[in-house]
Amino acid sequence: MNLFDTKFLLASLLWGSIGVGYCVYGKKQGEMVPLVGGLMMIAVSYFVSSALLMSLIGIAVMVAVYLLVKRGW
């Protein structure tokens, strides 16, 4: 695993930043779904070593948060 790979660093920055945004939004609004989704995205950016897999998981978490919020969770 090369931690200085450009694709890995950019994917980690992107998904970690989106996760922080979800966490801040969830905390301020008192919503658990975006908060947990944001924590999951932050964890993925730390523990997954592939940029492609990290991006696929990040997109899946975003879709799951959207669908759960849309259904009233």
Instruction: Write b or e for each residue in 33-50: b if 16 or more Cβ atoms lie within 10 A of its Cβ, otherwise e.
Output: bbbbbbbbbbebbeebee
Task: Split the chain (73 residues) into runs of 10 and give each run's mean pLDDT.
Answer: 84 96 97 97 93 96 97 90
- Sequence spans of domains, the chain: 6-70
- pTM confidence score: 0.89
pLDDT of residue 31: 95
Q: Residues with Cβ < 8 Å from 44, sequence gap 6 or more?
A: 15, 19, 54, 57, 58, 61
30: tokens are: 């008192």
pLDDT at 1: 64
